[in-house]
Amino acid sequence: MTPIELYIHIPFCVKKCLYCDFLSGVFDEKMQRRYVAALCTEIKYQAKLHPGCLVSTIYVGGGTPAWLSEDLMDAIITTVKQSFKLDPLAEISVECNPGTLSAEKLNVYRSIGINRLSIGLQSANDDELKILGRIHDYNRFLHTFDLVRKAGFDNVNVDIMTGLPHQTVQKLEKTLNAVTMLRPEHISAYSLIIEKGTPFYEKYKFDAVKQQAGMDTEELPTDEESYRLYKFTMDYLASKGYERYEISNYARNGKICRHNVGYWDRVPYLGIGLGSASLYNNVRANNVRDIYKYCEISEAIESGKNVQTELSSPYFESEEELSKKDAMEEFMFLGLRKINGVARQDFFNSFGIEIDAIYGPIITALRHQGFMDAKEGRLFLTDIGIDVSNQVLSKFLLD
């Protein structure tokens, strides 16, 4: 059986955060129910299109999936189990935000096999949470974390952010200290990115440009300060026993996120739900991004109408077969995000050619410059290589 991963998108949030450009919005319960019914139809449809697959991980992301009532989450996971063959040891993760969980909900989660939770804290400083437009304060997070542990979850991620407006090393230290004291198994530390189309873009766009140009900024940290915050996070988490296994991800006791490692290793995945991306048989595809159109496709399938399009799924709005060159580039871009990099043998197994025959001169040059190293059949970026990973990875583009 072919191992695959499932990503399931829940595009609902209690309120839109000011920096967020994810495909999510505020919808009432009626729309949530309509969407989940459509999602279950797509799950069944995709399972029929992909027989012979073994699901190794499920990641329910968003949005705020935990905002759904427990019967809707139950319907989603039960439909996956009824439609696909699921590895008995599958990792099943759900994203949640402080204030969207209850003891009852968590009990249902456990009973349907959800075994990993990812909580979006972002900061332990209430003033920073306010700036970000989050719905919670730090106390609310503590309450949620306590509920999660009491419900018996022993694989928990906490998301934090660096590079926030007015963030200092002292403020970041407070967040890191507060989080590591709770001993979650996993911490993701992302840098704030000012995305077009968000209220943050309107407010901080000039600062963001100055930051990129290495100039003095007004509210965002300068480029140099951002680097200091990033380094501080790395060193602090290492001192507390969290091992960095990807540019922004840290785990203790080996509790890495198997789903994300699958992405970086190019394990085939199916994206189910609004705007989700899939990679299967070397074809990259994206689902439609209009929620009403998405629901109508499922409703047409349910009513037995012909929904065939020229693409291989009626849910797709785009589909592209990757060339060997595209796939090789992607192998390097994604694989080198991992701290242990890529295996020469995996490259050969994927493409039938030695990695040096394609990238030999680039690898030699990067090793010579100290950006890359090799050990036990693996190639990986050094610390200074990771610091300038955008420039380094761009060298792996093929003409």
Q: Minimum distance between the CB of residue 275 and ligand SF4, rounded to whole angstroms?
A: 12
Q: Is 97 in the site for ligand SF4 (CB under 6 A)?
A: yes
Is residue 38 close enough to count as binding ligand SF4 by CB under 6 A?
no
Distances in whole angstroms, Cα of residue 15 to Cα of each of 32, 110, 125, 153: 15, 27, 19, 26
**Cβ nearer to ligand SF4, comparing 51 with 199:** 199
Minimum CB separation of residue 274 from ligand SF4 in Å reads 12
Structure tokens at 52: 């012979």
Only one of the segments 59-67, 100-108, 224-232, 353-361 lies at the binding site for ligand SF4 (rule: CB under 6 A); that segment is: 59-67
* CB 161 within 8 Å of CB 122: yes
Is 276 one of the binding residues for ligand SF4 (CB under 6 A)? no
- C-beta neighbour count of 310 within 10 angstroms: 6
Comparison of 289 and 325: residue with beta carbon closer to ligand SF4: 289
**Position 63 contacts ligand SF4 (CB under 6 A):** yes
What value, to the nearest 5°, has the Cα angle with vertex 90 and ends 86 and 93? 115
Based on the shown chain and the rule CB under 6 A, indicate whether residue 24 belongs to the binding site for ligand SF4. yes
The stretch among 9-17, 44-52, 253-261, 346-354 that binds ligand SF4 (CB under 6 A) is 9-17
Q: Are 150 and 105 in contact (CB under 8 A)?
A: no
Contact between 270 and 283 under an 8 Å Cβ cutoff? The reply is no
Contact between 62 and ligand SF4 by CB under 6 A: the answer reads: yes
Please identify, among the stretches 13-21, 111-119, 188-196, 326-334, the one whose residues bind ligand SF4 according to the rule CB under 6 A.
13-21
Min CB(333)–ligand SF4 separation in Å = 24
Q: Which is nearer to ligand SF4, 22 or 316 (CB)?
A: 22
Query: Among residues 22, 27, 201, 380, which is the contact residue for ligand SF4, using CB under 6 A?
Result: 22
- Provide the minimum distance between the beta carbon of 67 and ligand SF4 in the complex, in angstroms, as a whole number: 9
The yes or no reply on residue 27 touching ligand SF4 (CB under 6 A) is: no
Q: In degrees rounded to 5, what are phi and psi of residue 187?
A: -135, 130
**Calpha distance 222→207 (Å, rounded):** 9
Least CB distance to ligand SF4 at residue 385 (A): 30
Task: Say whether residue 18 binds ligand SF4 (CB under 6 A).
Answer: no
Check residue 16 for interaction with ligand SF4 (CB under 6 A). Answer: yes
Instruction: Give the per-residue SS3 of 27-78.
Output: CCHHHHHHHHHHHHHHHHHHHHHCCCEEEEEEEEEECCHHHCCHHHHHHHHH
Examine residue 201 and tell whether it contacts ligand SF4 (CB under 6 A): no
Between CA 377 and CA 336 the distance in angstroms is 14
Give start and end residues of each alpha helix (H) in the chain: 29-49, 70-83, 103-111, 126-132, 138-150, 169-182, 199-212, 223-239, 258-264, 291-302, 324-335, 344-351, 355-368, 383-387, 389-394
Least Å distance between CB 379 and ligand SF4? 34
Spatial distance between the Cα atoms of 96 and 135, rounded to a whole number of angstroms = 12
Q: Find the shortest distance in angstroms from Cβ 13 to ligand SF4.
A: 3
Candidates 4, 10, 13, 295: give the one binding ligand SF4 (CB under 6 A): 13
Shortest reach from residue 99's CB to ligand SF4, in Å: 11
Q: Identify the residue among 4, 6, 10, 20 touching ligand SF4 (CB under 6 A).
A: 20
By CB under 6 A, the count of residues binding ligand SF4 is 11
Question: Coil, strand, or helix at residue 123?
Answer: coil
Burial class (CB in 10 A: 0-12, 13-18, 19+), 63: buried
Span interacting with ligand SF4, options 10-18, 267-275, 297-305, 323-331, rule CB under 6 A:
10-18
- Decide if residue 65 touches ligand SF4 (CB under 6 A): no
* Stretch in the footprint of ligand SF4 (CB under 6 A) among 14-22, 182-190, 254-262, 316-324: 14-22
Q: Are 300 and 307 in contact (CB under 8 A)?
A: yes
Measured in degrees and rounded to the nearest 5, phi and psi for residue 62 equal -165, -145
DSSP code for 153: -
Which residues would be at the binding site for ligand SF4 (CB under 6 A)? 13, 16-17, 20, 22, 24, 62-64, 97, 120
